[in-house]
Amino acid sequence: FLKLAPSVLRSTAKNADCGLSPAGPPTVGPRSYSGPLPTTYNVQFPLGRPTSENLQAICDYSDLRPRYPSSYFPDSGYGVDKLRASAVNNAEAWLSTCCKDNQTWEREVTLCCATQAWELSVEKYCEEDLSIKHPWYHCCKINDNNNRLNCFSNDAPNPNYGPTQELPVEPLPSTAEFTFNPNTCQRTPGPVPIALIKGKTKKLSTPRAADISFPPGRPTADTIESVCHNQRLRPVYSIKCLPRSGYEMVALQAKTVNLIEKGFKSCCKNKKTKLNCADQKWREELNKFCLRENRGRVNYPCCLNQSDEYSCFQQMSPDPYYNVTSAHEEVSLNKICDTHKTIKKKFPVGFPLKDFVTQCCPLQEEEKTACSARLLEEMSQKLCASKRAVPSTVRRCCKLSSQETPQCISKIIMSAITKATNFSSQKKRKRCPIS
């Protein structure tokens, strides 16, 4: 006279494929029982507070801690467990986002990001939990935020974020947005927070993304011609633009690329030995990259994979066969941000480009295009309405229809950008490894 609901049976079958199973055998009740079946679906909730002690484990074992897809639960019921599972899924997704930038941020910046992600997950969970008519989670009943966070952290079944799954799990996308705000991070110079007491804490600027082609591909018989002939098309890097702290890994990568490229230049002078020479230089500099003097092995994936480190570097390379760097870069109006100084000195267009630089260049790449189009329209109207002398090329544009004038002036600017880009590639200036 006992019977399992069909949804429970379906869920149990699906979870077997996911490597997840309810905690213990399902508890069943009589047919007359009208509420949800009291089966317990194990959710490792809540997650612990990120600390300097568990940060490495948070990043290293992310795919060895459970996620809870919708198939883990029956179609109906188990609202409390589903809510907790969603909170864990979101927190793990956000923590993974922080860990992805771990190699270009200082450790304390990554920890700050992870802490914000965890605190937001607690906040979101309690907002939902307290909005539902059911027994609230005891920590959410605490009004003081610090005490509430401490309560969640103390309840964590896996505070060290150790691996609990035998096989890697598939990551799940978050269902809510998390944006890291580095301006709330505080840095203290030592274990005793004296600077906090004296009000001398330093706010971090917004972390900038690494924009560096690292590691370079390994020279081979098939790629050595591109390695040598297209050196001027590949960037070298300046580390003077980097902030004083937070970008040590980027600086090390930039120095390594520069030394490899310098070695390639020397090797390519001898046609008979250039391949062996270039390959040896590539291996030497990457060995040095992994073994920084007096500091042990660098925390970079390939450096930790000593058994096959060279193959790892080749697989990690964004351009392993030197195809991308040998192609001509597409020129767009947004390139004015990189070329405006060269245009002003070498290829003047006869009208100021300052507005493009000050208004559009600080924006994200997708926003620059719309900004440039808007300013081009405004500039066209101003130039054609101005009583000041303008270049003959601009005067010819102003004689066209109002729709054609911006396109005509755009061609003038694009021509200057192309000339400036070609001039810069011939000179091969160092560029900043962050954007």
In 318-373, where do the E strands start and end? Answer: none
- The pTM assigned to this predicted structure is 0.40
pLDDT at position 388: 80
Of 290, 219, 231, 221, give the one whose Cα is nearest residue 262. Answer: 231
> What are the pLDDT digits (tens) for 143-155?
888 889 999 999 9
Of 104, 428, 434, 435, give the one whose Cα is nearest residue 236. Answer: 428
pLDDT at position 161: 95
- Whether 239 and 254 have beta carbons less than 8 Å apart is answered as yes
User: Which residues of the chain fall below pLDDT 70?
Assistant: 1-40, 101-105, 186-209, 293-297, 305-306, 324-331, 424-429
- Whether 125 and 140 have beta carbons less than 8 Å apart is answered as yes
Domain boundaries, the chain: 54-155, 223-316, 333-431
pLDDT at position 220: 95
13 bridge partner residues: none
Give 307's DSSP letter.
G
Per-residue exposure over 104-133, b if at least 16 CB sit within 10 Å of its own CB, e if not? bbbebbbbbbbbbbbbbbbebbbeebeeee
203 bridge partner residues: 186
pLDDT at position 117: 94
DSSP 3-state assignment of 237? strand
- Cα–Cα dist 402/382, whole Å: 12
pLDDT at position 41: 78
Q: Which residues contact 306 (CB under 8 A, 6 or more apart)?
A: none
Is the bond preceding 215 in cis, omega lying within 30 degrees of 0? yes
Question: What is the number of helices (H) and of strands (E) in the chain?
Answer: 16, 4
pLDDT at position 200: 32
Of 262, 405, 423, give the one whose Cα is nearest residue 341. Answer: 423
DSSP letters for 151-215: HHHHH-S-TT-----SS-------SS-----GGG-EE-SSSS-HHHHHT--EEPPPP--B----S
Task: Please provide the size of the chain in residues.
Answer: 435
